[in-house]
């Protein structure tokens, strides 16, 4: 299986950098956030926002030499990447920083900046991810922070019904958000902190465990899947949940997404599917797919990125998009 990105362009864009997140604009356009690789000793002497960051775009329908580019971004602390689609004519990728204002840099779809601020007040929203739902971009964060991008440079609180918090604790969400529709949305995080939005306001739901929660998926089978501590999984809705898998992992799932009528899960160390109540490694043509890290799904394509490699899957064929050319 050949690698799509050639060695020369890889050296110019990715050499010396680690991929920390990925997002699909469409089946031919991918965005990445990459951080410069530094030693643990050097990292301990720096703030994460001081480590050089690149926002990278890869076009899989363009020829070598013109299919990949990047810009340098300053001050991006623990960044992640997402997509903005509505109400704009073309989608753009967005890198977000987990800093005091929630800095966001949009690039693609004919735009490159300027830097936006999710919360200019400096509330420190602690944005965990950007999630594009029904075209609009949402930003969940610590202390049950939740925002929605409604225009260029305009993010508004999306927290109707959520009580104002005087003191933020780790028991509170949010790490993830998903939805079936604008009147049926879920946000999770903290220690068993599950909320539902009915189109008017958010309400806290009951949950059978107080472990740390990581992801929520409004799946194509009509169920809601929530993952948490140890990689465990629950399925249900509103305040009715049952355990479907009790994990023993030491890390949380980074992403849990519905694709090809299955729940796919990725962490820093594993890439799995939920099959008949069992979480199993992804197998293709009798062999384990050797990937882990962060995922995205859109436009009939699944993409997964490790620190140094990226592969895509269209439901039948795996494609190696990026690999390290280090000898």
Q: Where are the domains of the chain?
A: 73-322
Give me the phi and psi of 12, to 5 degrees please.
-75, -30
pLDDT at 1: 72
Q: Is beta strand 255-259 parallel, antiparallel or unpaired with respect to 224-228?
A: unpaired
Q: Tell me how far apart the alpha carbons of residues 118 and 72 are, in angstroms, rounded to a whole number.
A: 20
Q: Tell me how far apart the alpha carbons of residues 296 and 289 are, in angstroms, rounded to a whole number.
A: 16
Q: Tell me how far apart the alpha carbons of residues 39 and 16 are, in angstroms, rounded to a whole number.
A: 11
Report whether 220 contacts 178 (CB < 8 A).
no
pTM: 0.95
In DSSP terms, 138 is beta-bridged to 131, 148
Q: Tell me how far apart the alpha carbons of residues 49 and 296 are, in angstroms, rounded to a whole number.
A: 24
Other beta carbons within 10 angstroms of residue 100's beta carbon come to 16
Helix (H) or strand (E) holding 140: strand 136-141
Q: Tell me how far apart the alpha carbons of residues 297 and 259 are, in angstroms, rounded to a whole number.
A: 7
Other beta carbons within 10 angstroms of residue 2's beta carbon come to 6
Q: From first to last of its 327 residues, what are the pLDDT tens digits of the chain? A: 799 999 999 999 999 999 999 999 999 999 999 999 998 887 788 889 989 999 999 999 999 989 999 999 999 999 999 999 988 888 899 999 999 899 999 998 888 889 999 998 877 889 999 999 999 999 999 999 999 999 999 999 999 999 988 888 888 989 999 999 999 999 999 999 999 999 999 999 999 999 999 999 999 999 999 999 999 999 999 999 999 999 888 889 999 999 999 999 999 999 999 999 899 999 999 999 999 999 999 999 999 999 999 999 999 999 999 999 986
DSSP state of 191: B
DSSP state of 3: B
Helix (H) or strand (E) holding 13: helix 7-13
The closest of 175, 172, 178, 136 to 154, measured between CA atoms, is 136
pLDDT at 115: 95
Topology given in CATH for the domain delimited by 73-322: Neuraminidase (2.120.10)
Residue with tokens 């356009």: 29
Instruction: Measure the N-to-C terminal CA separation of the chain; round to a whole number of Å.
Output: 18
pLDDT at 327: 63
The closest of 211, 216, 276, 288 to 248, measured between CA atoms, is 211
């Amino acid at each position: 299986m050949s690698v799509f990105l050639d060695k020369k362009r890889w050296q110019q864009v990715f050499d010396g950098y680690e991929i920390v997140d990925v997002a699909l604009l469409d089946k031919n356009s991918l965005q990445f956030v990459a951080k410069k690789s530094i030693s643990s000793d050097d990292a301990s002497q720096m703030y994460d926002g001081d480590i050089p960051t690149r926002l990278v775009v890869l076009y899989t329908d363009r020829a070598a030499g013109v299919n990949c580019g990047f810009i340098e971004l300053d001050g991006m602390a623990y960044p992640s990447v997402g997509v903005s689609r509505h109400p704009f004519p073309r989608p753009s990728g967005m890198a977000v920083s987990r800093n005091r204002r929630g800095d966001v840099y949009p690039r693609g779809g004919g735009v490159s900046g300027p830097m936006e601020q999710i919360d200019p007040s400096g509330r420190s929203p602690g944005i965990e991810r950007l999630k594009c739902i029904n075209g609009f971009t949402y930003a969940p964060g610590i202390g049950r922070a939740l925002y929605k991008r409604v225009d260029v440079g305009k993010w508004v609180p999306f927290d109707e019904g959520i009580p104002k918090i005087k003191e933020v604790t780790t028991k509170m969400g949010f790490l993830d958000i998903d939805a079936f529709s604008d009147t049926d949305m879920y946000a999770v995080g903290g220690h068993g902190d599950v909320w539902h939005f009915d189109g008017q306001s958010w309400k806290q739901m009951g949950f059978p465990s107080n472990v740390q929660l990581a992801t929520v998926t409004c799946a194509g089978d009509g169920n809601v899947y929530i993952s948490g501590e140890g990689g465990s999984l629950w399925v249900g809705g509103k305040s009715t949940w049952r355990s479907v898998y009790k994990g023993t992992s030491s890390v949380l799932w980074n992403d849990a997404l519905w694709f090809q009528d299955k729940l796919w899960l990725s962490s820093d160390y594993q890439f799995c599917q939920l099959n008949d109540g069992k979480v199993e490694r992804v197998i293709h043509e009798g062999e384990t797919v050797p990937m882990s890290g962060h995922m995205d799904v859109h436009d009939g394509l699944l993409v997964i990125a490790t620190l140094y490699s990226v592969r895509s899957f269209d439901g039948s064929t795996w494609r190696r998009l990026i690999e390290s050319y280090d000898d």
